[in-house]
Structure formats: structure tokens, C-alpha cells
Amino acid sequence: MWTTIKSADQPIRLPTAKLLLVPALSCLVVGGGWAGIAALLQFGKEDIIGAILAGLVPALAVVVAMVLIRPWHARPVTTWPFVFLAGTVIGLLATLAGGLVLYFASSYGTVGTWLCLVVCYWAGLFGLVWVYGSCMKRRASVGSLPSTSREPPRAEPME
């Protein structure tokens, strides 16, 4: 059951299964769709296999990044944005490294494969941010954390 955040130091856990599955599936669906379109348009075998591999690389990278930040570990609410940002940077670097390996170590390093890799990475990143944002939105109740607004407080009406 979701709980509201009572203080900025309250430790919470992120939904690990969703953080692993949603971004990875987003990458795989986009890569599979790209491969399907390449097959329908009768592109070469290298483009089809390259698209599938380009979907696998960011999917694996985001899973590794999320495992490294340990979302099942309870941390204060104020710590999670920094840890999550570190996870996204790890995912970006792992995707770049995997893309370079895909380009230099195989015959699937075409422009279409690189474009598919970028699109798959962004699909995974959007899925990741969607899961993280919806988790934080559900857990935080309006007004439970200190306001950062610079507006002066409104005066109560006098009776």
C-alpha cells in the first residue's frame, strides 16, 4: 500500500519490478518494431538483426543501471533524485559502450542500427522516468513537504 510522505527524511523504496521491466520492454518493443518495419520494407538481414541488437543494448543497460542503484533499498525521499540521476547516467554510458561494441565488433554497425539504438534508448528513458515520476507522485501528498514557492502566504479572511 502506498503511504504519503510525512517528512523529507522518510525512507522509501522504489518499485523495483516496474523499474526493471517497463524501460527494458520499451526498448525491446521499439527495437522489434524497427526490425519488423525493416523486414516489411525488405531491408538487408544486417539491418534487421542490427535493430534487434540495438533494442537489446539499451534494455540490458537500463536493467544493469537500475540493479546498481538498488531501488529495493530504502532511502530518504531527498536522496532518491540524485541516486536516480546517477542510474540514468550509468545507463547512458552503458548504452554508449554497448553501441560502440556493436559497431566495431560486428557487421551490424549501420546508420540504421545507430538510429535504432538512439530511439530505443530514449524509449527506455521515457519509460524509466514515467515509472519514477509516477512513484514519487503517488507517494507524496500535496502540501506534505515544505513548499519552495516564493509567494507570500495568503492572509486568512477576517470575520
pLDDT at position 29 over 50:
yes
pLDDT at position 83 over 90:
yes
Range of the domain at 91: 30-139
Residue 54 lies in a domain: yes
Residue 18 lies in a domain: no
> Who contacts 108 (Cβ-Cβ below 8 Å, separation ≥6)?
46, 49, 50, 53, 102
Q: What is the mean pLDDT of residues 97-120?
A: 86
Residue 148 lies in a domain: no
Residue 157's pLDDT is 54
Residue 1 lies in a domain: no
Q: What is the mean pLDDT of residues 20-49?
A: 92
Contact (Cβ atoms closer than 8 angstroms) between residue 62 and residue 23: yes
Give residue-wise pLDDT tens across range 126-149. 999 999 999 888 876 544 445 555
pTM above 0.85, yes or no: no
Residue 66 lies in a domain: yes
Q: Could you tell me which residues are beta bridge partners of residue 89?
A: none
Q: pLDDT > 70: what percent of the chain?
A: 82
Number of separate domains in the chain: 1
Residue 14 lies in a domain: no
Residue 143's pLDDT is 46
Q: What is the mean pLDDT of residues 32-42?
A: 92
Residue 49 lies in a domain: yes
Residue 36 lies in a domain: yes
